[in-house]
Amino acid sequence: MAQLGSLPPRERHQAAPRREPPGKEQEQDQHPESGLKTAADKTAALQRQIRILDEMLTSVLSLAPLSFEDLMVSPDPPRFDPAPSGLPGPAPAWENYAPVRPGALRRLLGGGARYKAQLAAARARFEAVQSEHRKQESQWRQALTAAKAQHDRRVTEERAKAAEHNAAISARRSSFAAGESEAVEWFVARILDASRYPGVFPREHRATYRPGHREVTVEFEFPPPRIVPTVRAFRYLKTRDVIEPLARPDSEIRQRYQRLISSITLRTLHEVFSATPSGVVETVAFHGRVATVDPATGQPARPHLLSVSADRPAFDALVLSAVDPTTCLSHLGARMSANPFDLEPVSPLPAFEAPS
């Protein structure tokens, strides 16, 4: 077999090992690490989403309940700027305009007359600049006075607005304590509004109150089943240089959606009970539904997936940090969809009916 050095130039060129351009080998070595990191980052983002869903109930248990005091406001007047635009500079100084006084020799040679003329011209310029400065200063003081007056008006308006708002809240608090339906429904709506959910969650809800039963009924919209990620992780395939999603098992998706709507239900009951006194609210009924499209008609539909009614003593006996949400609702006598992921509806409990 011929040695590489004995081959003709053309064959030597063909037989020589191919060299990559400088930096190419390093780029190829680093690419798998980049792919692995991207896959790990995408997987971590998925895990954060799942953790948020898993902690939908427990994340609020340590939070202070909403109170009427929380709805009060303090006036927040704008800060006054004591130096509006157009502030004039320092007053003109005569020494910056006065001509240089000639010496004795220059005065003998006629410089005295020229100095008098220069002095007169300089005084005229100085007085004109002084006058303009006084005019600018006067305009600035007028602007300052007007700005201060406007600021004072805004402060007065902010304080009046805050006082009016707080008076309305105080009036609602008195009506709430008296068990007036409108005030109770209004405050429960504020409780639900204040509850922080991920931005992609729907925020539709409605509260009604029956004073004779001391019962609040909440109609609540659940997020759709697609809220549960269908991918459980990402992996990087070096041989194909692609990042591949790994599917989450269908059984896990269904179980997680059931747990999520159960957690939202218990969370809402907890928030309402903890923010209201027993003298006003003794029972909370919850009806959870989801917005979808009826596949048979193509029309919008809102099937109920879960319905429960709980009285305060039974709910207060629960250790919510340790319960399984779905099992807990079954214990409370809830009606739950047999297949919530497929939006199989359930008939809500009749109004103000306690569980048997």
- 166, 192, 220 - which closes a domain: 166
User: Considering the domain boundaries, does residue 154 fall inside one?
Assistant: yes
Could you tell me which residues come within 8 angstroms of residue 170 by beta carbon, excluding any fewer than 6 positions away? 68
- 166, 190, 209 - which closes a domain: 166
Asked if residue 322 has pLDDT above 90, the reply is yes
For residues 272 and 198, state if they share a domain: yes
The one-letter amino acid at 334: A
User: Considering the domain boundaries, does residue 308 fall inside one?
Assistant: yes
Model confidence at 115, pLDDT cuts 50, 70, 90, reads confident
CB 269, CB 332: distance < 8 Å:
no
User: Considering the domain boundaries, does residue 72 fall inside one?
Assistant: no
pLDDT of the residue at 356: 40
Average pLDDT over residues 258-276: 98
Model confidence at 94, pLDDT cuts 50, 70, 90, reads confident
DSSP 8-state assignment for residue 139: H
For residues 131 and 205, state if they share a domain: no
Question: How far, in Å, CA of 290 to CA of 348, rounded?
Answer: 13
User: Considering the domain boundaries, does residue 275 fall inside one?
Assistant: yes
Structural domain total, the chain: 2
For residues 307 and 235, state if they share a domain: yes
For residues 108 and 36, state if they share a domain: no
For residues 283 and 318, state if they share a domain: yes
N- to C-terminal Cα distance for the chain? 95
pLDDT of the residue at 84: 57
Average pLDDT over residues 61-73: 97
Q: What are phi and psi of 248, to 5 degrees?
A: -80, 135
CB 211, CB 179: distance < 8 Å:
yes
User: Considering the domain boundaries, does residue 320 fall inside one?
Assistant: yes
Question: How far, in Å, CA of 32 to CA of 235, rounded?
Answer: 11
For residues 191 and 336, state if they share a domain: yes
For residues 209 and 306, state if they share a domain: yes
For residues 321 and 232, state if they share a domain: yes
User: Considering the domain boundaries, does residue 292 fall inside one?
Assistant: yes
Tell me the residue range of the domain where 158 lies. Answer: 94-166
Average pLDDT over residues 125-148: 84
For residues 275 and 309, state if they share a domain: yes
pLDDT of the residue at 39: 95
pLDDT tens-digit map of 10-41: 444 444 444 444 444 444 344 678 989 999 99
pLDDT of the residue at 3: 45
Q: What are phi and psi of 309, to 5 degrees?
A: -130, 125
Which residues partner with 309 through β-bridges? Answer: 285
Asked if residue 270 has pLDDT above 60, the reply is yes
Question: How far, in Å, CA of 260 to CA of 255, rounded?
Answer: 9
User: Considering the domain boundaries, does residue 86 fall inside one?
Assistant: no
pLDDT of the residue at 102: 73
Q: Which residues of 142-152 are buried (b: 16+ CB within 10 A; e: fewer)?
A: eebeebeeebe
For residues 243 and 145, state if they share a domain: no
For residues 258 and 305, state if they share a domain: yes
Pairing of strands 231-237, 242-247: antiparallel
pLDDT of the residue at 79: 83
Burial of 39 (0-12, 13-18, 19+ CB in 10 A): buried
User: Considering the domain boundaries, does residue 329 fall inside one?
Assistant: yes
For residues 298 and 337, state if they share a domain: yes
- 140, 166, 192 - which closes a domain: 166
